[in-house]
Structure 1
Amino acid sequence: MVFIGFHASHEQLPPSALLEAVVAAEDAGFDGAMCSDHLSPWLPEQGESGFALSWIAAALARTAFPIGMVNAPGQRYHPVVVAQAFATLEEMFPGRFWAALGSGEAMNEHVTGDGWPAKSVRNERLGESVGIIRRLLRGEEVSHEGHVRAHRARIWSLPAQSPPLFATAVSSETAAWSASWADGLVTVAQPPSVLRRVVEEYRSAGGTGPCSLQVHLSWALTDAEAFALAREQWRNGVLAPPLTWNIEQPEEFDEAIGAVDETALRRAVLIDHDASSLVDRIATLVAVGFDRVYLHHVGREQVGFLRFAHSDLIPALKGRL
């Protein structure tokens, strides 16, 4: 049976409200959760961005299911600090924490004042960071000179086992590369043909860990309400890499979007008011080859969605997946 998870969006809810939402998600029947890690939201209307590492500790303490997070080591986060944070979370909540590591986005990383490297350099930096983090989690003393530097670093409070370190990947090329170092793969919803290539490249390159899919959806009682919600809160979905990697400010995202193209937004977000239809659309994406799916309702108000998930969406999905 496919694992059905809840995505907690730091860009959209205050940390305290997001904490209550993830607790309610467990009560609603979700199998686990994941969260984003942003310094700023995508859009001014989203209006939030709590510190994920603080929040996830509270979320793990308030729940019993597994929770993971996205993280981009190498610029805003030094990999030694990341390793210490991951070690502490895993030691406190053994077997329940995981992280999906990526090369980052300028919107979160530009604040250091360092230049924003090309994607190829960011991947090299990520590879170095992963190596440092893994060595530290094994208890080694680490010195390193490269895109990142470390000097005689050591983590003293270690967990019994290292937490899983997954890779974030949008393209099939990145998925294939990540198979060499990642314990699993996390990607976002795209057309099934594109997702199939992402999974196939990861598997054919030797990737054996779980493949996870994040799905953005907008649910309301009518299609018009669901579309209006997506347009207000997740119109950034019409933009795609490499453009999204290089924009620095929410206002600049808004400017790049311009007039919202309805067809493009409906491709980026599953906009629906009918449970059966929504289940069919999610199941079609998962059938490509995913072991886990994380559902992100793009509204800032989560109570109604979680009630709908408990009564209709999750039972139907568990019967299909």
Structure 2
Amino acid sequence: MTAFGYHCSHEQIAPSRLLRHVSRAAEAGFDAAMCSDHLAPWGVAQGESGYAFSWLGAALAAAPLSFGVVTAPGQRTHPVTTAQAIATLGEMYPGRFWAALGSGEALNEHITGDPWPPKDVRERRLRECVDIIRALLAGEEVTHHGAPENGGVRVDRARVWSLPAEPPPLIAAAVSPDSAAAHAEWADGLVTVGCDPRGVGEVIAAYREAGGRGPVRLQVHLALADDDAAALAMARHHWPNGAVPSPDSWDIATPEEFDRRAASVSDDELRTAMIVSGDAAVHRDRIAELADVGFDAVMLHQVGATAEQQDLFIDVFGERVLPELRSAG
């Protein structure tokens, strides 16, 4: 049966309030949770971006859910410190934590002052980081000299001392079939994003055809409000960045630049990028269609960031939508 999770949007909600929301989501019947590791929000008005790994320690203690994080080792965060963070959470909360590793976005990574590499270089760097993190989680001492011209990383006699009995799964984060297939060799599972069944189905198919193993998860952005007009206004105000497609979104360096790019997105582009409706039944049916593609978990992000908008989503989904999805499945 598909699990339905609550996406914790650090880019929009202060860490203390987000902790209250995820605890409430657990009480309402959500099965799991996830978040992204960002330094900056996507847009200036979003105005938040707590450190995901710090927050996860509190969230795992507060809410009896499995949690995942999407992070990008290799530039802003060294793979050794990423491995230590993963190991610490895995040791404290056995079997409840996974980490998805991706090649990142300039929005978070440019702050080191190093050049932002092209996609092929970032993919090679990610694979180096995966191998380093796996070795460290296995208790090995690692020394590694990556080629600087290939974006490689350097490690000198590193060891992670506090280890979990079982390493947390390392999941691939991919938005295209090509990336999903390329990651299949190393990944313990896959997480992607979208709300078009055909498109996300192609990502799953590419991953499985390349030998990809483990669970596949989907992140879905949605705007639920009192009516359709309010839902569309919510999407435009709180999450217009969601309609900025990749690869453009990978290379934008600041929230201000994202705001300029997102200002031109149309209403149709917003509706394509997320589920926008004031009718809970519409959300239920669209999510059921996505789950039927073959996802083990669907992680739901209500783009409205106010406390009232989050409470509406949690209450409506907890009372009506999630039970109906489960009974239909």
Could you state the TM-score of these two structures normalised by the residue count of structure 2? 0.96
Number of the residue aligned with 2:165: 160
Does residue 311 (structure 1) correspond to residue 316 (structure 2)? The answer is: no
Partner residue, 2:118: 118
Root mean square deviation, CA, Å: 0.9
- Percent of pairs identical after alignment? 56
Correspondent of 1:320 among 315, 318, 328: 328
Structure 2 contact 23–62 (Cα < 8 Å) conserved: yes
Tell me the residue number matched to 2:149: none
Alignment map for 1:235-314 (pairs within 5 Å): 235-301=240-306, 302-314=310-322
Which position in structure 2 is the counterpart of 1:133?
Answer: 133
CA distance in structure 1 between the partners assigned to 2:245 and 2:142 by the alignment:
37
Q: Tell me, which stretches of 5 or more residues in structure 1 are unaligned? A: none
Contact 1:12 1:49 in 2 (8 A): yes
1:250-282 Cα offsets, whole Å, 9 max, x none, are 110111123330111001110111122111111
Q: Which residue of 2 aligns with 1:27?
A: 27
Task: Give 2:113's aligned amino acid.
Answer: G
1:218/1:226 contact within 8 Å kept: yes
Equivalences for 1:30-109 in 2 at 5 Å?
A: 30-109=30-109
**Residue 181 (str. 1) matches residue 189 (str. 2):** no
Contact 2:195 2:274 in 1 (8 A): no
Alignment counterpart, residue 172 of structure 1, candidates 177, 181, 189: 177
| Structure 1 residue 126: Cα displacement | 0.3
1:289 deviation in Å? Answer: 1.7
Could you tell me how far apart the structure 1 residues matched to 2:257 and 2:265 are?
Answer: 15
**Secondary structure class of the residue paired with 2:157:** strand
Distance in 2 between residues matched to 1:78 and 1:41, nearest whole Å? 21
Cα distance in structure 1, aligned partners of 2:328 and 2:109 = 40
Distance 1:314 1:42 in 2: 29
Do structure 1's residue 206 and structure 2's residue 211 form an aligned pair? yes
How far apart, CA to CA, are the structure 2 residues paired with 1:316 and 1:36? 28
Kept in 2, the 8 Å contact 1:189–1:285? The answer is no
C-alpha distance after superposition, 1:17-76 (max 9, x if no partner): 001111011001000100111111111111100000100010001111111101100000
Answer yes or no: is the 8 Å Cα contact 1:5–1:31 preserved in 2: yes
**Cα offsets for 1:61-112 (capped at 9, x unmatched):** 1111111101100000100001111111100111101111000000000000
Contact 1:214 1:295 in 2 (8 A): yes
Deviation, structure 1 residue 193: 1.9
Shift of 1:191: 2.3
Code of the aligned partner of 2:145: E
Question: How many residues were matched structurally?
Answer: 321
- Report the residue type matching 1:233 in the other structure: H
Tell me the CA shift for residue 318 of structure 1: 1.1
Query: How far off is 1:208 after superposition?
Result: 1.6
SS of match in other structure, 1:215: strand
Q: Deviations over 1:158-187 (max 9, x none)?
A: 110000010000000000011100000000
The residue identity in structure 1 corresponding to 2:315 is: R
Q: In structure 2, how many angstroms separate the alpha carbons of the residues matched to 1:23 and 1:99? A: 20
- The Cα offsets for residues 86-144 of structure 1, whole Å up to 9 and x where unpaired, read as 11110011110111100000000000000000100000000000000000000001000
CA contact (8 A) 2:240 2:263 kept: no
SS of match in other structure, 2:45: coil
Shift of 1:190: 4.3
TM-score by length of 1: 0.98
SS in 1 for 2:223: strand
Which residue of the partner structure matches residue 192 of structure 1? 197
SS of the counterpart of 2:185?
coil
Structure 2 distance, partners of 1:259, 1:285, is: 28
CA distance in 1, matches of 2:328, 2:242: 27
1:5 aligns with 2:5: yes
Q: Which SS does the other structure have where 2:301 is aligned?
A: strand
- Secondary structure of the corresponding residue to residue 45 of structure 1: helix
Aligned residues of 1:4 and 1:293 also touching (Cα < 8 A): yes
Alignment partners' CA distance in 2, 1:237 and 1:15 = 21
User: Tell me, what secondary structure is at the counterpart of 1:53?
Assistant: helix
